[in-house]
Amino acid sequence: MTTASLHLEACTQPADWAAAQTALRLSALEQSWCYGAATAAVTQGKVLPERWLIRRADDSLAGLAQVFVRRIPPFGRFVRLVRGPLFVPGLARAERDAALALIRAAYPWRRRCLLWWLPELNGGVESEAAMAELGMRPMMTGYSSIRYDLRPAPERLRSQLDGKWRNTLKTAEKSALLMETASVAAGSWNAEAFAALLGEHARHRLEAGFLGPDARFYAAFTDAVKTAPKNGLAGEDALLVWAHAGTHLGRVRPIAGILVLRHGNAATYAMGWSNEAGRLVKAHYRLLWQAVLTLRAQGVTDFDLGGVDTQRGAGVARFKLGLNGSVFTLTGSYM
């Protein structure tokens, strides 16, 4: 499909997707190959990703989009595009608008496609006008999160922390907790610690009644990362950081942990858990700071803190805001 000087090219090879994702200054978890694979796995193939590379006439890359499609015979297809398309740095507005038009044209209503679209566009009049031009109507307010730039030196990053946050980190670092880090890509994955974190996440998710990916999804994501090397997929990983007080009866019992998912040059905070002992020693401050240092050492340049909601999750929001990253709000969801 072609619009102006751009065209869509179907992408079926993980290595090609990885190369395109790496070319982006910023990427989003929902646009990663493993996110698509995990979605297909947990829905048992009922929701499948369709992956597009957006190219110029000279075949240079302009962006990418991973779209999720659920076929509902005989009614048609329910199509969901979350945080996409993503664009290469410095893309002209005219090309961006042409890329958006390409995506819209690929899933038209006349072909029985019901498109739910949360574009990776900052909130504001310009973005609203761009979506209105495509005949899309706003349905929900924008998603907000915090983007943390990992490119400065660790000393600089630490000095930029909120003062209270930095002091709490210092206190947490004096505790006798043992910290461990595991990575699928590095071959250091700890299945036992991961299972413990998933179990606590599932319990807390049920008790608190919050939405979002469940334990099955995160397990499927890590499974997809494990198959990445043989598929030529680079730059996607699962990072587990957890704290414990030592070995008991031959087993390590985590008292707090976080899961971070890498996608190209960026990574996203996926979930975290802490019991009462972990909260008493402020374990999450050490966990998050250790994740920052580990990601930076791996070459990750941007850390998405996984959403921020100052109304329904004020405490978590204050914790994340303490890193003094850049808050952003997307334009919202459209149909």
C-beta contacts of 96-99 below 8 A and 24+ residues apart = 96/130, 97/130, 97/133, 98/3, 98/4, 98/5, 98/6, 99/3, 99/6, 99/54, 99/62, 99/63
Token look-up 């390590």 returns 252
Q: Report how far residue 18's alpha carbon sits from residue 20's, in angstroms, rounded to the nearest whole number.
A: 5
Q: Which two tokens stand for residue 309?
A: 């909601």
Beta strands, E only, the chain: 2-3, 6-10, 47-56, 61-72, 76-82, 86-87, 113-118, 138-140, 144-149, 178-183, 236-248, 251-263, 266-274, 302-304, 326-329, 333-334
Question: What H or E segment, with its residue span, contains residue 159?
Answer: helix 154-159
Neighbours of 12 (CB within 10 A): 8
The span from the CA of 315 to the CA of 177, in Å, is 23
**Along the 335 residues of the chain, how does pLDDT read in single tens digits?**
555 589 999 999 999 999 999 999 889 999 999 999 999 999 999 999 999 999 999 999 999 999 999 999 888 999 999 999 999 999 999 999 999 999 999 999 888 999 999 999 999 999 999 999 999 999 998 899 999 999 999 999 999 999 999 999 999 999 888 889 999 999 999 998 899 889 888 887 777 767 678 889 999 999 999 998 888 888 999 999 999 876 655 556 788 999 999 999 999 999 998 888 889 999 999 999 999 999 999 999 999 999 988 777 788 889 999 999 999 999 999 99
Q: What is the pLDDT of residue 314?
A: 84
Cα separation, 27 vs 20, whole angstroms: 10
pLDDT for residue 246:
67
Question: Cα 94 from chain centroid?
Answer: 27
> Can you give the pLDDT at residue 250?
53
Give the pLDDT confidence score for residue 315 in this predicted structure.
86
Strands 178-183 and 236-248: antiparallel
Residue 110 is predicted with a pLDDT of 87
End-to-end CA distance of the chain: 21
The SS3 assignment for 126 reads helix
Please choose, from the candidates 218, 188, 224, the residue with its C-alpha nearest in 3D space to the C-alpha of residue 306: 218
Q: Tell me the C-alpha distance between 268 and 29, whole Å.
A: 6
C-beta neighbour count of 122 within 10 angstroms? 12
Query: Buried b vs exposed e over 251-275: b needs ≥16 C-beta within 10 Å?
Result: ebebbbbbbbbbbbbbbbbbbbbbe
Domains, the chain, in order of start with CATH, read 2-142 (3.40.630.30), 146-330 (3.40.630.30)
